[in-house]
């Protein structure tokens, strides 16, 4: 920093020089020559007007001079002033001179050129300016015309009953000029009676005024300088004196007369004159001389002292609106005008804010109520449609659910389902998670326009139910999902229905397939005996046969016929059962006898098939007869079907038929064999129509697949149940129960045996 000091000093010096030089070249020297003295209010105010207008900051330098001629006027004095000015201003190149009032103006006209050279001059306060023959293109100024006519009108308005106007003036130049002007003006007011007083001393003035009765009188002071002790006294100095001797309203045109003295009138003041003259000087120094008129009008205004007005009981409302009042008591409002206007503005602003806020709140309330309405409409619509609404925020793993979702999942309220996103995933059926994740990814990557899926969700009871999910991502950030909104619908019944439809379809297809298989079997079953019948008939018709052969062939034909008849009976039975046409015909019969018959048929069958099968019939009771009441034909039919199958599916071994009475009215039959058996998976299907165990038809065992279906239907018809116990190569045991009515004898035996 130290190293920079000389450098900085140089910069400061150079800039100071430049700066000072610039200012110097712009300074404008103006001399204000006042006719009067600085303590004279008119002059003081006029000076202030000039100084404030041509301010130093604008580059004006004002030299102020007071010739003090109001108090001290003589030619020698003026000569001395001239000499003094000549000496004083010789080194200065003055730019312009402002002259206030007549003496200064006349002084300048006489000596100005000699003192300052040919310089622009502006005048003000010169009463009779129009009487001077001066170069109006060079010298400009402000008129000092007092509005005597205007003031007389004010006097007459305030005092309509005025009987006499007392006009007072003095011996000063101003006083004499204004008295002349008054006398010219008063001719325009022929009804106004007046008397003029030329004031030479306060005593004389006081004495003369005391001659007037104050009632309906007014005093108009044009000028009031009274010589005293070698100098004139200021007008205002006489005011107290005059005020003390009379009680007559006083009017005047000079602002310095205010102050417990005059009421007012068209008032002119020194400040306005000074400001106006300085403004003209500024324009001249700015080079606008040609644009400036010779004489600017006198700035003046009606000003009234409110205190004086009240003192003389004069009515302020008679005055023009433009009247400016001084000393007017200020009302609370006017006194605190600025505060009140600030508070008012603040209040108005607050009111405006309140109004705006009220409007905003009203609009907001309306929007909220509309929103609520629309929300409740939506909620009602969703509720009516049994649809739940969900809203997921992925940033916070937050899931919103409405009442509908809770209801759909069997909960009372949404709070019961206060799950995070992860927890929600746990209620999805494990088999559906992949599918739903795939749907979400497809939507998140804009491959699919919406998120759709059908999933099973765990309900409050722990069961899974089917639901449809439809949603859409409403907001993404950096291509990451932020928010997704959607609905949840219960499609469980629809799904179940679809499943049932599918099952029904599959069943129909199966049934169709079975029917085809049945037809194929049927044709086989019909063709085989038919071929036998036709073949043996042909032999009998066309070939020679001995009696034994003849009988044998006829037997074959009969057997085939029987076989056909059985088949047809089966078909008729199943269709009758299906159409509900079969009626049970219970009768009293001997069960042992029935079993013997069945055994005989079975034995014949074994023989005819030439199978090495031992048939065992187990009768529970040893007596010859067991009389019961049931439908013997249907019992026999079932037993025969079961024995027929047992023999059919047993190559060799044992076929056993047994029964037992488990309760007094329940018979249980069992047909078991040691044949090829049935896989447990096929246990149910073999009781269905046209169904055969898979290897059933492959071993040429034939059959229609109707036997067990008929047996099951008959057992059910009789009020019982049928089932099988078997496995591959383990043989098979078919069991069925039927209710029955034991006959007394048999029952007795039965009861004895079972200690009942």
Applying CB under 6 A, which residues contact ligand ADP? 641, 645-646, 649, 673, 675-678, 686, 692-693, 696, 703-709, 732
Q: Is the dihedral of CA 402, 405, 410, 415 positive or negative?
A: negative
Measured from the CB atom, is 305 or 673 closer to ligand ADP? 673
Quote the Cα angle for 581-586-589, to 5°.
Answer: 140
Measured from the CB atom, is 408 or 715 closer to ligand ADP? 715
> How near is the Cβ of 627 to ligand ADP at its closest, in Å?
30
Quote the Cα angle for 727-729-734, to 5°.
Answer: 50
Q: Is the dihedral of CA 585, 591, 597, 599 positive or negative?
A: positive
> How near is the Cβ of 488 to ligand ADP at its closest, in Å?
48
**Strand order in 464-477's β-sheet?**
398-401, 387-393, 480-490, 464-477, 451-458
> How near is the Cβ of 596 to ligand ADP at its closest, in Å?
22
* Rounded-to-integer distance, Cα 430 and Cα 464, Å: 11
Q: How many Cα atoms within 13 Å fall on the side-chain side of residue 7?
A: 4
* Rounded-to-integer distance, Cα 4 and Cα 167, Å: 78
Measured from the CB atom, is 392 or 714 closer to ligand ADP? 714
> How near is the Cβ of 484 to ligand ADP at its closest, in Å?
56
Pairing of strands 96-100, 121-126: parallel
> How near is the Cβ of 546 to ligand ADP at its closest, in Å?
36
> How near is the Cβ of 600 to ligand ADP at its closest, in Å?
20
Asked if residues 714 and 722 have their Cβ atoms less than 8 Å apart, the reply is: no
Measured from the CB atom, is 265 or 720 closer to ligand ADP? 720
Helix 632-648 to helix 591-609 angle (10° resolution) is 30
Asked if residues 100 and 69 have their Cβ atoms less than 8 Å apart, the reply is: no
> How near is the Cβ of 511 to ligand ADP at its closest, in Å?
16
Asked if residues 159 and 216 have their Cβ atoms less than 8 Å apart, the reply is: yes
* Rounded-to-integer distance, Cα 317 and Cα 304, Å: 12
Q: What is the DSSP string of 666-692?
A: EEEEEEEE-SS---GGGTTGGGSTT--
> How near is the Cβ of 521 to ligand ADP at its closest, in Å?
8
> How near is the Cβ of 709 to ligand ADP at its closest, in Å?
6
Measured from the CB atom, is 281 or 693 closer to ligand ADP? 693
Q: How many CB atoms lie within 10 A of CB 144?
A: 24
Measured from the CB atom, is 174 or 692 closer to ligand ADP? 692
Measured from the CB atom, is 141 or 677 closer to ligand ADP? 677
> How near is the Cβ of 682 to ligand ADP at its closest, in Å?
7
* Rounded-to-integer distance, Cα 655 and Cα 677, Å: 12
* Rounded-to-integer distance, Cα 64 and Cα 49, Å: 12
> How near is the Cβ of 678 to ligand ADP at its closest, in Å?
5
Measured from the CB atom, is 181 or 566 closer to ligand ADP? 566
Measured from the CB atom, is 563 or 641 closer to ligand ADP? 641
* Rounded-to-integer distance, Cα 146 and Cα 42, Å: 14
* Rounded-to-integer distance, Cα 176 and Cα 68, Å: 19
Residue nearest to ligand ADP (CB): 703
Pairing of strands 231-233, 60-66: unpaired
Q: How many CB atoms lie within 10 A of CB 247?
A: 11
Q: How far apart are the first and last CA of the chain?
A: 135
Measured from the CB atom, is 386 or 614 closer to ligand ADP? 614
Measured from the CB atom, is 587 or 729 closer to ligand ADP? 729
């Amino acid at each position: 920093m130290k190293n920079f000091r000389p450098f900085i000093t140089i910069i400061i010096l150079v800039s100071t020089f430049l700066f000072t030089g610039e200012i110097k070249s712009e300074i404008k020297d103006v001399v204000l020559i006042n006719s009067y003295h600085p303590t004279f209010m008119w002059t003081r105010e006029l000076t202030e007007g000039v100084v404030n207008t041509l301010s130093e900051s604008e580059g004006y330098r004002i030299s102020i001079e007071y010739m003090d001629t109001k108090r001290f006027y003589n030619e020698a004095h003026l000569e001395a002033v001239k000499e003094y000015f000549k000496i004083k201003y010789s080194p200065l190149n003055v730019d312009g001179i402002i002259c206030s009032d007549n003496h200064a103006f006349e002084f300048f006209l006489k000596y100005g050129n000699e003192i300052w050279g040919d310089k622009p001059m502006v005048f003000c306060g010169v009463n009779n300016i129009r009487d001077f023959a001066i170069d109006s293109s060079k010298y400009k100024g402000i008129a000092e015309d007092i509005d005597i006519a205007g003031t007389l009108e004010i006097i007459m308005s305030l005092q309509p009953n005025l009987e006499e106007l007392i006009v007072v003036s003095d011996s000063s130049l101003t006083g004499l000029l204004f008295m002349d002007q008054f006398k010219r003006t008063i001719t325009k007011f022929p009804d106004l009676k007046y008397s003029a007083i030329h004031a030479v001393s306060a005593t004389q003035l006081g004495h003369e005024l005391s001659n007037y009765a104050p009632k309906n009188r007014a005093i108009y002071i044009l000028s009031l300088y009274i010589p005293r002790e070698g100098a004139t006294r200021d007008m205002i100095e006489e005011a107290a004196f005059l005020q003390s001797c009379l009680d007559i309203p006083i009017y005047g045109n000079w602002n310095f007369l205010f102050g417990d003295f005059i009421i007012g009138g068209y008032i002119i003041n020194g400040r306005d004159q000074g400001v106006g003259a300085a403004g003209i000087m500024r324009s001249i120094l700015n080079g606008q001389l040609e644009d400036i008129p010779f004489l600017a009008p006198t700035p003046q205004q009606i000003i009234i002292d409110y205190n004086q007005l009240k003192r003389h009981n004069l009515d302020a409302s008679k005055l023009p609106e433009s009247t400016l009042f001084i000393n007017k008591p200020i009302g609370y409002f006017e006194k605190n005008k600025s505060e009140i206007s600030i508070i008012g503005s603040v209040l108005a602003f607050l009111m405006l804010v309140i109004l705006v806020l009220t409007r905003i709140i009203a609009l907001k309330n309306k929007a909220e109520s509309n929103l609520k309405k629309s929300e409740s409409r939506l909620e009602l619509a969703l509720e009516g449609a049994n649809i739940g609404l969900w809203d997921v925020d992925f940033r916070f793993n937050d899931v919103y659910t409405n009442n509908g979702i809770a209801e759909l999942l069997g909960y009372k309220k949404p709070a019961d389902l206060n799950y995070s996103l992860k927890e929600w995933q746990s209620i999805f059926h494990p088999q559906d998670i992949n599918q739903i994740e795939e749907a979400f990814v497809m939507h998140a990557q804009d491959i699919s326009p919406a998120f759709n899926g059908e999933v099973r969700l765990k309900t409050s009871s722990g069961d899974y139910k089917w639901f449809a999910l439809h949603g859409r991502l409403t907001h993404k950030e950096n291509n990451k999902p932020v928010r997704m909104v959607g609905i949840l619908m219960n499609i469980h019944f629809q799904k179940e229905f679809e499943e049932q439809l599918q099952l029904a379809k599959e069943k129909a297809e199966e049934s169709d397939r079975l029917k085809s298989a049945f037809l194929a079997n049927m044709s086989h079953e019909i063709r085989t005996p038919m071929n036998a019948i036709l073949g043996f008939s042909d032999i009998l018709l066309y070939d020679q046969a001995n009696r034994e052969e003849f009988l044998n062939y006829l037997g074959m034909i009969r057997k085939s016929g029987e076989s056909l008849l059985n088949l047809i009976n089966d078909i008729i039975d199943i269709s009758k059962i299906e159409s509900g046409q079969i009626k049970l015909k219970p009768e009293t019969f001997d069960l042992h006898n029935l079993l013997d018959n069945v055994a005989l048929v079975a034995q014949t069958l074994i023989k005819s098939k030439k199978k090495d099968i031992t048939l065992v019939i187990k009768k529970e009771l040893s007596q010859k007869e067991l009389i019961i009441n049931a439908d013997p034909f249907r019992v026999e039919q079932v037993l025969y079907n079961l024995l027929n199958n047992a023999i059919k599916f047993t190559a060799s071994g044992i076929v056993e038929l047994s029964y037992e009475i488990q309760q007094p009215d329940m018979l249980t039959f069992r047909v078991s064999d040691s044949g090829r058996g049935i896989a447990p998976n096929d246990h149910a299907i073999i009781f269905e129509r046209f169904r055969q165990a898979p290897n059933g038809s492959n071993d040429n065992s034939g059959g229609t697949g109707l036997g067990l279906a008929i047996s099951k239907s008959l057992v059910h018809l009789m009020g019982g149940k049928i089932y099988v116990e078997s496995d591959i190569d383990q043989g098979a045991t078919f069991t069925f129960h039927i209710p029955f009515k034991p006959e007394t004898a048999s029952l007795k035996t039965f009861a004895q045996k079972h200690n009942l």
